[in-house]
Each structure stands twice: as structure tokens, then as C-alpha cells.
Amino acid sequence: MLDLWLGSWVAAFATFVVVFGLIVWSVLFHRRRKNSDQQLPPQVRYNLPIEMLYTLVPLVMVAVFFYFTARDEAEIIKVSGTAPVKVKVEGYQWSWRFTTEAQGKTATVAGVPVDLSKQSTTNPQGPQLVLPVGTKVEFALESPDVIHSFWVPAFLFKQDVIPGVHNKFELDTLDKTGVFFGRCAELCGVDHSKMLFSVKLVPQAEFDQYMTTQSAAGGAQ
């Protein structure tokens, strides 16, 4: 994802340099000069080779962007179905419910809208999803009401949570322990901004312990 993003910026910047260079060049060399009786420089309208160039170059540029985006996207959204940990993510107005399934055990956490006055950058608010580090995780996204969007910026992945649509994705890049902030990324109503949550990545042993306690408690809220 990072390569695609960087590559797009490099291509966009190269385009900017060429376009801006051409603008500066025309301004400098084709400006109206003093003591010139020529009102207009020679015009190139209806010049077939130039018109074709104008059409083909942007087409090629779009095709290149499309190719790399489609290639990477197909790879990124592939779901093998073999992930040992599966999470059902329900986004609702206005919080989240996470139901985690692993080794035949189930754990559920759900939140109420976050009190934004108590929000801080070091103490994440909202429900916390606990996951093992270094393991492939499958996320299934469900919404009972309107369109939300599941987004953990640190995971470089975001997907819409749409009523009636069963979006799924897998992440196998969760390789650092810690707490990662997440939020709803689709304006979904008056308390959209309160749809905060966090994901805590812990070592496998700690995760096993967590699942045992949670499932014994009958999926504590």
C-alpha cells in the first residue's frame, strides 16, 4: 500500500513538473512583446498530431494508475478464509460491537458513544478489540442501520460497513504489539465523531488468556 501511495505521488509530481515547466516556458517565450505588430502567436488548433498527443498521453497515464491500483487492490482484499482468528465488526449509531472467535471460543465487546470531553491521545476511548500479534485475522463488517467505515489508520486499511452488504477483509500485517486507535470514517449521523475504538495487539499467550476469561464471563459487555 505504501509503495502504491509513494509511486502515485512520484508520478503525480513528475506530471506537475512537466505541466508547470510547459506553462512557464509558454509564459516566457510566447508572451506579447513590445513593438511587435503580431497580435497572436501562430495557432495550432486542429493540428491532428498534437490533438492525438493530448488525448493519448492522459489515457496512458490513467491506464498506468489503473493497472497498479487494480493489481494491488486485488491482492490486498483477497480473503483466504483460513484465518485462525475471526472478528465480526458491527458498526451502529454510534459505537461498535466486536465479536471475536478463536479456538472455538467467543468474546464480545461493545461500546456506547464516547464522551469526547474525556478523550485523550494516550487513553483510547470506546470498545477495545484485543487481537494476537503476528496472526492472520479476518474481519467481517456488518451494519444494522446506516453506512459506517471501519478504519484503524495504523493498519493502512479502511473499509465501508454497509447495511445488507457482507464486506470481509483479512490482515496478516499486525506484527507490532500496542494499542492502535480506530474510528468511523464515514459521516453517519449526529454522533459520528463519537464512534471511537481501539485495537490492542498482544502476544499469543495473553490473547489465549483473554479469550478464556471473556468466554467464561459469557462475553462481557
Residues at the interface with Cu ion (CB under 5 A): 148, 184, 188, 195
Q: Kindly state the smallest distance separating residue 195's Cβ from Cu ion, in Å.
A: 5
219 burial (CB, 10 Å; 0-12 / 13-18 / 19+) is: middle
Cα dihedral 13, 18, 23, 29 sign: positive
Q: How far is the CB of 71 from Cu ion (least distance, A)?
A: 30
Nearer to Cu ion, 152 or 188 (CB): 188
Nearer CB in complex with Cu ion: 87/201? 87
Q: How far apart are CA 29 and CA 82, in angstroms?
A: 63
Q: Are strands 128-132 and 167-171 parallel, antiparallel or unpaired?
A: unpaired
Smallest distance, Cu ion to C-beta of residue 145, A: 9
Closest separation in Å from C-beta 118 to Cu ion: 19
Shorter beta-carbon distance to Cu ion: residue 68 or 169: 169
Sole residue written with cell 461498535:
96
Give the helix/strand (H/E) hosting 73: helix 48-76
- Nearest-CA neighbor of 179 among 142, 116, 131? 131
Q: Could you give phi then psi for residue 160, rounded to 5 degrees?
A: -70, 145
Q: Distance (Å, rounded) from C-alpha 191 to C-alpha 186? A: 11
How much helix, strand and coil, in percent to the nearest 5, is found in the chain? 35, 30, 35
For 146, list phi and psi in degrees, rounded to 5. Answer: -125, 180
Q: How far is the CB of 117 from Cu ion (least distance, A)?
A: 20
CB of 128 to Cu ion, least distance (A): 17
Nearer to Cu ion by C-beta: 129 or 211? 129
Q: Which is nearer to Cu ion, 95 or 215 (CB)?
A: 95
**Closer by beta carbon to Cu ion, 96 or else 210:** 96
